[in-house]
């Protein structure tokens, strides 16, 4: 018997669950060549150096498994039944578009598919590393094939056939063999060539671009690290509990908030990995990208270029490396090539230049405007307060500065200024507000109610904590409208939900994001685990998770709900309900809401800006519905021309509404957008029509009941209710 076999037998007899058992499981995991004799029939050529698991990773695996089972909000065990789901999630991460592996490869991995549950309990990482090494080898093979094709000259490619290529392959069957993958990759390269030709590039430039792209990806594949495999596998594992639970590698843990690392210095964007791409999750209010205006949520980054340097293709890069590349000295410029969220295929890109800067607290601060409306011979003055995020200057607060900035403090001042201006009502604009400090959401609700509960928080043990506003004073007791959209999340949803439950105001816009969970970051022996431990519930008992806040009056949005929002994420925690807590109901809108909606719909039926929005939404939905794109050059040019003409028509219609001259060509439009983006502070845009519609809804409220302002603020009309 070998030393390894002796040690395996010794450790296998020891129980797992105590301190000695923990070490035994780690040792056993590292000594075993494969779980229960499972060994996929995979040959890894010597030119690729397979990555191997470490002792620290095995220990971290066991710690992660325990924390998920015993401290996560979702009650889920690391069972044998979990194996298949983890395997599929892992493959989605490594080859989500099914362009590297064949069905033959999947068949070779079939034994591993069934053992990942037991492996995850004991820290046995070799099966998962086998999968990773196979995928890396297949990536290398595909990239070499692509480079050979490009180096042989793209002039040999035939663009006169009726071939098509599928836009999204995530749900397609695996290709049967290498020959089928060769055909698929030839189509992928033809698609890339056609797109670049339509953007004006000649064959020489296209070949150079593609060569640099594939050589860069090939270099990354050869530089695969053990930590890459471990992080991918652990995140496939943790995602079974929910999409916000994730593993941070030691390098990521140096700044565990790596997804937010650009919010303080850089471009001001929250990024995350999305298969081979780095995807924009949201923009930081007041940040360079938000002010520049071209980068949008769900855009995917293809390449990054520094000033006066060639672009670096970042497809397949690790998130932290992309972040490092985008970061840079303040006032320097970075150029991003992105696939727009509205693009019909991955080769339709646009270039965005952003000047780096630090996001300043004052640029995220709440601000006010006043709009004047004339309705049926009556004039209305409506105050507008825009809140980009829920913020607080914690350092100044801890230092005892009596004038420290916070959302609630700033909004209170703005309310007083609007009251001095004798406004008839206030519109609170929380669109694109991704949340922030929870206590600020609680305090902000308190500005509009006497006192009472604002949100409930339930932990994994079903213990419920109720946050309350204990200040009986009210900063504003007049009529209120709250604007939200799909990017309103977390603290924004708490505020909007509370205002809705209290009958304190109307919520207008589109369904919010649905982020109703709370995460904590916990240290491991190797990296950190961000784990979901609690869930938000409204005072009426319904969760903000998954469903978000449904507006009383809906306004459609350009954003794609199938790609943005909690309900678009795999394994998101479901909506549920707990007991309501007693709270005041200030006004019952049920008797007038139908009339308010009817008035709103009549206005929008004749509103040219709304009609243009509808046209844009229809155009985007039509683009999103495209499953295939043609590889026929003539057909592609025709389709491209139709899309460009529609874009130009929409842009010119908006120009005409603003009293501006239309553009003659799309190039003129793009040049104008670049000029605007280069100096985002140079323009003073009017309040958009959604805010004005919020004002009109306010005017409807006042017209229906001239006494509403006093009714809302008068305690004698308040009804104490235990929300049903």
Q: Could you tell me if 251 and 641 are in contact, meaning their C-beta atoms sit under 8 angstroms apart?
A: no
Pull the structure tokens for residue 518.
Answer: 């709370």
Share of the chain above pLDDT 70, in %: 86
What is the pLDDT, as a whole number, of residue 262?
36
In this structure, the dihedral spanned by the alpha carbons of residues 153, 154, 160 and 164, taken in order and rounded to 10 degrees, is 130
Distance CA 42, CA 126 (A): 13
Is the per-residue pLDDT at 167 higher than 80?
yes
What pLDDT band is residue 346 in, cutting at 50, 70 and 90? low
What is the pLDDT, as a whole number, of residue 80?
86
Is the per-residue pLDDT at 466 higher than 60?
yes
**Mean pLDDT: which of 199-213, 402-416, 497-511, 598-612 is highest?**
497-511
Whether 634 is catalytic is: no
pLDDT, average across residues 444-468: 96
Q: What is the mean pLDDT of the chain?
A: 85
Is the per-residue pLDDT at 30 higher than 60?
no
What pLDDT band is residue 28 in, cutting at 50, 70 and 90? very low
Is the per-residue pLDDT at 360 higher than 70?
no
Distance CA 289, CA 294 (A): 7
Is the per-residue pLDDT at 402 higher than 70?
yes
Distance CA 571, CA 562 (A): 14
Is the per-residue pLDDT at 15 higher than 50?
no
pLDDT tens digits, one per residue of 114-133: 899 999 999 999 999 999 99
Which DSSP state fits 258?
G
Distance CA 644, CA 137 (A): 40
What is the pLDDT, as a whole number, of residue 260?
35
Distance CA 289, CA 354 (A): 6
Is the per-residue pLDDT at 412 higher than 90?
yes
Ranges 290-294, 430-434, 441-445: which has the least confidence:
290-294
Ranges 134-148, 345-359, 490-504, 621-635: which has the least confidence:
345-359
Is the per-residue pLDDT at 43 higher than 70?
no
pLDDT tens digits, one per residue of 289-315: 888 888 988 899 988 999 888 888 888
Tell me which of 515, 535, 540, 700 is the catalytic residue. 515
**Mean pLDDT: which of 7-11, 518-522, 547-551, 677-681 is highest?**
547-551
Distance CA 26, CA 24 (A): 5
What is the pLDDT, as a whole number, of residue 715?
39
What is the pLDDT, as a whole number, of residue 223?
87
Distance CA 52, CA 32 (A): 13
What is the pLDDT, as a whole number, of residue 395?
79
pLDDT tens digits, one per residue of 170-225: 999 999 999 999 999 999 999 999 988 988 889 999 999 899 889 888 988 998 99
Ranges 97-111, 242-256, 456-470: which has the least confidence:
242-256
Contacts of 278 (CB under 8 A, 6+ apart): 271, 272, 300, 301, 314, 317, 319, 322
Domains and CATH numbers, the chain: 1-31 (no CATH), 38-238 (no CATH), 250-358 (2.30.42.10), 362-524+534-605+705-722 (3.90.226.10), 608-678 (no CATH)
Is the per-residue pLDDT at 34 higher than 60?
no
pLDDT, average across residues 380-396: 90
What are the strands, taking DSSP E only, across 134-237?
Answer: 164-166
pLDDT, average across residues 274-278: 80
What is the pLDDT, as a whole number, of residue 171?
92
Is the per-residue pLDDT at 26 higher than 60?
no
What is the pLDDT, as a whole number, of residue 682?
47
Contacts of 100 (CB under 8 A, 6+ apart): 94, 135, 138, 139, 142, 181
Whether 515 is catalytic is: yes
What's the N-to-C CA distance of the chain in angstroms? 70
Of 458, 527, 517, nearest in space to 64 by CA? 527
Which DSSP state fits 362?
G
Is the per-residue pLDDT at 641 higher than 70?
yes
pLDDT, average across residues 306-332: 85
Is the per-residue pLDDT at 499 higher than 60?
yes
What is the pLDDT, as a whole number, of residue 647?
86
Is the per-residue pLDDT at 486 higher than 90?
yes
- The DSSP element (H or E) to which 205 belongs, if any, is helix 203-222
Ranges 213-222, 408-417, 477-486, 627-636: which has the least confidence:
213-222
Is the per-residue pLDDT at 23 higher than 60?
no
Length of the chain as a residue count? 724
Tell me which of 342, 406, 490, 557 is the catalytic residue. 490
Pull the structure tokens for residue 48.
Answer: 């690729």
Of 386, 384, 400, 389, nearest in space to 364 by CA? 389
Q: Which residue has the higher pLDDT, 98 or 281?
A: 98
What is the pLDDT, as a whole number, of residue 264?
42
pLDDT, average across residues 534-541: 97
SS3 462: coil
What is the pLDDT, as a whole number, of residue 259?
37
Ranges 68-72, 76-80, 239-243, 399-403: which has the least confidence:
399-403
What pLDDT band is residue 324 in, cutting at 50, 70 and 90? confident
Contacts of 634 (CB under 8 A, 6+ apart): 160
What is the pLDDT, as a whole number, of residue 347?
62
Is the per-residue pLDDT at 644 higher than 80?
yes
pLDDT, average across residues 676-703: 77
Of 286, 266, 261, 444, nearest in space to 361 by CA? 286
Is the per-residue pLDDT at 720 higher than 60?
no
Predicted structure pTM score: 0.85
Whether 36 is catalytic is: no
Is the per-residue pLDDT at 7 higher than 70?
no
């Amino acid at each position: 018997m070998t030393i390894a076999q002796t040690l395996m037998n010794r450790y296998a007899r020891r129980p797992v669950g105590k301190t000695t058992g923990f070490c035994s499981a780690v040792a056993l995991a590292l000594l075993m060549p494969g779980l229960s004799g499972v060994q996929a029939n995979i040959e890894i050529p010597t030119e690729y150096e397979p990555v191997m698991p470490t002792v620290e990773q095995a220990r971290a695996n066991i710690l992660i498994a325990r924390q998920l089972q015993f401290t996560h909000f979702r009650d889920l065990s690391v069972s044998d039944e979990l194996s298949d789901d983890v395997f599929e999630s892992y493959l989605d991460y490594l080859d989500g578009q099914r362009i590297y592996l064949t069905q033959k490869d999947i068949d070779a991995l079939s034994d591993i598919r069934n053992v990942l549950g037991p492996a995850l309990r004991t820290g046995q990482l070799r099966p998962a590393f086998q999968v990773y090494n196979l995928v890396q080898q297949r990536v290398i093979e595909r990239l070499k094939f692509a480079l050979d094709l490009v180096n042989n000259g793209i002039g040999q490619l035939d663009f006169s056939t009726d071939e098509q290529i599928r836009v999204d392959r995530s749900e397609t069957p695996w290709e049967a063999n290498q020959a089928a993958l060769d055909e698929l990759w030839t189509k992928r390269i033809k698609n890339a060539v056609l797109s670049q030709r339509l953007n004006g590039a000649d064959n020489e430039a296209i070949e150079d671009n593609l060569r640099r792209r594939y050589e860069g990806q090939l270099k990354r594949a050869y530089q695969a690290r053990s930590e890459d495999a471990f992080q991918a596998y652990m995140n496939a594992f943790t995602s079974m509990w929910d999409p916000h639970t994730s593993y941070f590698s030691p390098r990521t843990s140096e700044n565990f908030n790596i997804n937010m690392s650009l919010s303080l210095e850089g471009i001001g964007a929250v990024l995350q990995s999305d298969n081979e791409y780095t995807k924009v999750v949201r923009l930081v209010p007041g940040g360079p990208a938000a002010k520049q205006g071209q980068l949008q949520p769900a855009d995917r980054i293809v390449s990054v270029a520094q000033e006066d340097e060639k672009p670096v293709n970042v497809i397949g890069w690790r998130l932290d490396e992309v972040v490092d590349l985008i970061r840079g000295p303040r006032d320097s410029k970075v150029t991003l090539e992105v696939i727009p969220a509205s693009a019909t295929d991955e080769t339709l890109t646009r270039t965005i230049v952003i000047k780096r800067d630090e996001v300043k607290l004052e640029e995220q601060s709440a601000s006010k405007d006043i709009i004047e409306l004339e309705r049926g011979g009556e004039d209305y003055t409506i105050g507008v307060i825009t809140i980009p995020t829920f913020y607080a200057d914690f350092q100044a607060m801890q230092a005892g500065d009596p004038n420290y900035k916070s959302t609630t403090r700033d909004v209170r001042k703005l309310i007083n200024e609007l009251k001095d201006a004798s406004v008839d009502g206030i519109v609170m604009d929380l669109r694109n507000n991704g949340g922030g400090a929870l206590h600020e959401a609680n305090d902000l609700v308190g500005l509009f109610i006497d006192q009472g509960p604002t949100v409930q928080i339930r932990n994994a043990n079903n213990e419920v904590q109720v946050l309350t506003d204990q200040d009986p004073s009210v900063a504003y007791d007049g009529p209120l409208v709250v604007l939200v959209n799909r990017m309103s999340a977390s603290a924004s949803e708490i505020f909007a939900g509370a205002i809705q439950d209290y009958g304190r105001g109307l919520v207008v816009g589109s369904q919010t994001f649905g982020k109703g969970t709370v995460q904590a970051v916990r240290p491991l022996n190797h990296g950190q685990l961000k784990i979901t431990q609690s869930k938000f519930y409204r005072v009426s008992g319904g969760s903000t998770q998954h469903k978000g806040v449904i507006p009383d009056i809906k306004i459609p949005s350009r954003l794609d709900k199938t790609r943005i929002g909690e309900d678009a994420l795999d394994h998101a925690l479901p909506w549920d309900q707990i007991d309501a807590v007693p709270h005041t109901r200030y006004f019952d809108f049920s008797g007038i809401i139908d009339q308010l909606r009817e008035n709103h719909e009549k206005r929008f039926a004749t509103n040219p800006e709304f009609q243009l929005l509808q046209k844009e939404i229809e155009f985007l939905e039509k683009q999103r519905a495209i499953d295939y794109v043609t590889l026929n050059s003539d057909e592609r040019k025709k389709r491209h021309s139709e899309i460009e003409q529609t874009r130009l028509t929409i842009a010119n219609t908006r120009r005409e509404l603003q009293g501006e001259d239309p553009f003659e060509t799309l190039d003129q439009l793009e040049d104008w957008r670049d000029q605007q983006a280069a100096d985002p502070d140079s323009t003073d845009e009017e309040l958009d029509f959604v805010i004005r519609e919020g004002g009109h809804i306010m005017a409807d409220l006042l017209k229906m009941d001239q006494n509403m302002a006093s009714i809302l603020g008068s305690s004698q009309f308040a009804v104490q209710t235990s929300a049903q």
